[in-house]
Amino acid sequence: MSLRIIFMGTPEFSVPTLRLLVDAGHRVVAVYSQPPRPGGRRGLDLQKSPVHQAAELLGIPVFTPVNFKDPEERNKFRDLDADVAVVVAYGLLLPEEILSGTREGCYNGHASLLPRWRGAAPIQRAIMAGDEKTGMMVMKMDKGLDTGPVALTREVAIEANMTAGELHDRLMFVGAKAIAEAMVKLEMGDLPLTPQPADGVLYAAKIDKAETRIDFSRPARDVHNHIRGLAPFPGAWFEAEIGGKPERIKVLASEMGDGTGAAGTVMGEDLTVACGGGAVKLTRLQKAGGKPLSAADFLRGTPLPVGTRLG
């Protein structure tokens, strides 16, 4: 026995789930992904999404509609005659005709402990808020934004210095296993659904570039969470005067530091920086156009002596 599945996803985060569903013996009859986007060195070449590329390697037909407003696209989806659609970071809102376009509906793998962190950036927002745990939830989709009933939950601890990139990679595989397990239960008719609680709803807004600058006047814990929540992309940053001109520097990792001082002042040769309360140690940095470097390697090429003001 196996399910006829339509898989809908776009980034690398979605790829392990697609592969695991195929390895489990399900028939993935089609993959939907975001259309190819300009990329490459000059941004002139159209590049297929990671899911698109993975599907082609697996020999699965790929569809890349801009949206589902066209009745022909909705009919094409229905005509695939699938048992269920599995959605992981697809990137398009699905209309009612798609949500009900398979026998069992659409099931979504979402990277938070719903109803906390519904929306676009749950991994980053959980870390930036200082959450100590998150997880992957498999839910049956409805017309709301991540509001559907939950079928399965897997919790994951957020370690003290874990970055968004590290958490992303852990959840990527936890989520793949959770969805594969949910599909086994669905096939057996044993996948109970639990409505989400009305309390505790938070929305994970998309990260805005305007919020990526580090504000050292905030408490050290907040600064640390801000840095790791935005690492490696888009990256939290500060400006420092280097060679007589201001230069933007990304911080890709940090730790809590010791000491107090004027906010934004370098306090130690290990790049401990004073905050509004306490201090953070900057441990991995990157100049524009440069490679990510450990603090020690960075300082060999770009000295930031004690007393330097960062902002």
Answer whether residue 174 is part of any domain.
yes
Number of compact structural domains in the chain: 2
pLDDT digit string, tens, across residues 57-101: 999 999 999 999 999 999 999 999 999 999 999 999 999 999 999
293 is in an annotated binding site: no
pLDDT, residue 87, reads: 98
pLDDT digit string, tens, across residues 202-225: 999 999 999 999 999 999 999 999
112 is in an annotated binding site: yes
Helix (H) or strand (E) holding 294: strand 293-294
> What is the rounded CA–CA span in Å between residue 181 and residue 26?
12
- Residue pair 194/150 in contact (Cβ under 8 Å)? The answer is yes
167 and 65 in one domain?
yes
Domain hosting residue 272, numbered range? 209-301
Could you tell me the CATH number of the domain that includes residue 220?
3.10.25.10
247 and 192 in one domain?
no
- Name the more confident of 38 and 49: 49
Q: Which pTM does this prediction carry?
A: 0.95
Q: Inform me whether the pLDDT recorded for 42 exceeds 80.
A: no
pLDDT, residue 250, reads: 98
The CA–CA distances, whole Å, from 68 to 21, 105, 106 equal 25, 16, 15
Query: Which one, of 98, 120, 91, lies nearest residue 6 by Cα?
Result: 98
Answer whether residue 92 is part of any domain.
yes
198 and 213 in one domain?
no
161 and 116 in one domain?
yes
What value does the mean pLDDT take over residues 158-176?
Answer: 98
Last residue of a domain, one of 188, 203, 218: 203
Q: How high does pLDDT run on average in the chain?
A: 96
Answer whether residue 190 is part of any domain.
yes
272 and 184 in one domain?
no
244 and 150 in one domain?
no
What value does the mean pLDDT take over residues 167-190?
Answer: 98
Last residue of a domain, one of 182, 203, 224: 203
180 and 83 in one domain?
yes
Last residue of a domain, one of 148, 183, 203: 203
Conformation bin of residue 27: beta by default, left when phi > 0, alpha when psi is -120 to 50:
beta
How many residues does the structure list for the chain?
311
> What is the rounded CA–CA span in Å between residue 216 and residue 238?
9
113 and 157 in one domain?
yes
pLDDT, residue 39, reads: 76
pLDDT, residue 41, reads: 66
